[in-house]
A and B are shown apart, each in its own frame.
Chain A
Amino acid sequence: MEQRLALHFTWPDPEGMRVMINSSLKQLGAMLAGKQISSVELTQEFLKRIELQNPDINAYITVDAEKSLAQAAAADHLIAGGKAGALTGIPVAQKDIFVAKGWRTTCGSRMLENFIGPYDADIIERFDAAGAVNLGKTNMDEFAMGSSNETSWFGAVKNPWDRTRVPGGSSGGSAAAVAARLCAAATGTDTGGSIRQPASLCGLSGLKPTYGLVSRYGMIAFASSLDQAGPMAKSCEDMALMMNVMTGFDERDSTSLQREREDYTRDLQQFEDREKPLAGLRVGLPKEYFAEGLDASVAKVVQQAIDEYRKLGAEIVDISLPNTQLSIPVYYVLAPAEASSNLSRYDGVRYGHRAAQYDDLMDMYCKTRAEGFGAEVKRRILIGTYVLSAGYYDAYYLKAQQIRRLIAEDFAKAFRQCDIILGPTAPSTAFRAGEKADDPVAMYLQDIYTIAVNLAGLPGMSIPAGFAEVDGKQLPVGLQVIGNYFDEARMLNAGHAYQQVTDWHQLMPECI
């Protein structure tokens, strides 16, 4: 096994480095186990790359070489002692939404510009326990509100495939970091598409698990009933390894589900060499996902990917998710409502930004929050405050929760006809920076195909499906895979089969 995986490269030869940065987590693990490279060397290499690339791409908000290298050294110790797990010694970037003890944790906001985490999020604990190296905190839309990573207080992130374009959001920093190979893998969070849409726009794999599989403890809340953390990596195989670390019951989160631990890699191998590995898999295509609003160039790439699934043995069935259009209005009631309340704790009393000048308590609140939050966050707080305010609750919040059920029922019906659903992740490829920054409604439509999945609490992922030519540039296109509750393994298995016969997930942008 190790023999087959151990790639041929010499340290510190630059070509060898290029092989290393594009290696899978399994390959990296084998290199570490085979002493071809140490975790400290691996970490140093990524830190060097970050130092070179990050000033332009801006994928990281915080890097702390000392901390990362200390973890790497500890990992090398574990490896030497034969106590390494699958991710031991592997540098993973953490979205800056996860509170990490001793690490600055900003959530992309001026409000938390100087907030040093006083405790560890569940996710951070799990990666630490796995012996992974925290490589740094990645940039994101402020409080995860955005689809372009332009709302970050720490500046916009550039798409490594075309630096005039956005990486998507809100996990844009993690997406850019994986795409530019500034980490081996990263974490993201997804409230309405924030893992999948940037994965699609940056040409990588991203998975939002079933709501409740990954603990939200220590993950700074945006919309509690929709937020879910997941992996962002190069391939389905990498994501399966990440899922093994990230998922699991946490008694500190009341919405964390008590289920038996799953090994998401258990069946991957069966999907590698078989002739028709997807035989018997029913793939549903929702007609609403291929209707008006979808870029033709994206549709074409997605269609090719579907054909590939067919060739692998999948049976294609037509389905309908009739309430798809309503997912946007429902989301833009529920998410801002929850957010308006979740963000009330940022009042300048116990931590975070406090205005320098104020007359009295009321003035301190109002100035602190006006200064600490950016325009998009304020907009959503105002929308949320409005829809919950006296006299409007029934017409907005309650109504949205009722339609949310209709949307979930659409999926329940669909999954009686199929095992997984395929479609586009986003309606277009990466758009230009600034293009939609002043038009919230246009920005919100980016998430038309992803939001319903969060509303239903289902797992959804985006995997690289090819490229579309836009203005003479090749831009990545993602294929969205939606599964039934707890069907992550099935989604990853099928994706893995697809990634055996395609190499979209292995392509790297130029000039990285």
Chain B
Amino acid sequence: MSLNTADVKRIAHLARIEISESEAESTLHKLSGILGLIEQMQAVDTTGITPMSHSQDVTQRLRDDVVTKTNQREEFQKIAPAVENGLYLVPKVIE
């Protein structure tokens, strides 16, 4: 599974990272090296092996349905890039 610059640009867009033509070139080179490393996995026969998502065989603990949080808008919005009337501002969202 080899990569080309168009792939790099597509992935970068999916990840919302601006990437110039020349950056795409150099990134391609490095990503290909890493993918080469990853490719070693394909030699292993993993038929029938249950994937492992967690190291401990435990199940989800459930929280009681209780409201524990209070309004901290002022505190949280002190570190926001742009706010008005309690709303976070972003360039116009088009549906």
Contact = CB atoms under 8 A, between A and B. Distances in A.
Query: Interface residues of A toward B: which range?
Result: 35 or more
Contacts of B80: 349-351
Contacts of B39: 329
A358 B91 contact: yes
Interface stretch (A230-238, A263-271, A395-403): A395-403
B17 A382 contact: yes
A258 to B, nearest CB: 8
Interface in B1-39: 1, 3, 7-8, 11-19, 27, 30-31, 33-39
Contact of B50 (A363, A385, A402, A456): A402
Contact of A382 (B15, B38, B40, B49): B15
A114 B79 CA distance: 8
A211 to B, nearest CB: 5
A347 B58 CA distance: 33
B61 A326 contact: no
A116 B72 CA distance: 15
Contacts of B60: 254
A277 B88 CA distance: 61
B79 to A, nearest CB: 5
Contacts of B90: 349, 361, 364
A378 B26 CA distance: 13
Interface in B42-85: 42, 44, 46, 49-56, 58, 60-61, 63, 72, 75-76, 78-82
B15 to A, nearest CB: 4
Interface string A337-371: 00010000001111110100011111111110110
A373 B37 contact: no
Interface in A56-94: none
B53 A225 contact: yes
A444 B40 CA distance: 15
Contact of A255 (B18, B54, B91): B54
Given A330-B41, A379-B31, 11 more contacts: A211-B56, A349-B80, A370-B18, A382-B17, A399-B46, A402-B49, A439-B33, A440-B33, A444-B37, A456-B55, A457-B55
Interface of A: 114-116, 118, 211-212, 225, 251, 254-255, 257-258, 325-326, 328-330, 332-333, 340, 347-352, 354, 358-367, 369-370, 373, 378-379, 381-383, 385-387, 389, 392, 395-396, 398-406, 408, 439-441, 444, 455-458, 485
Top 10 A-B residue pairs of the complex, sorted by shortest distance between their CB atoms: A457-B55, A401-B51, A402-B46, A370-B18, A366-B18, A354-B81, A405-B52, A365-B16, A402-B49, A361-B91
8 contacts: A328-B37, A352-B79, A361-B94, A386-B31, A386-B35, A402-B50, A406-B49, A440-B34
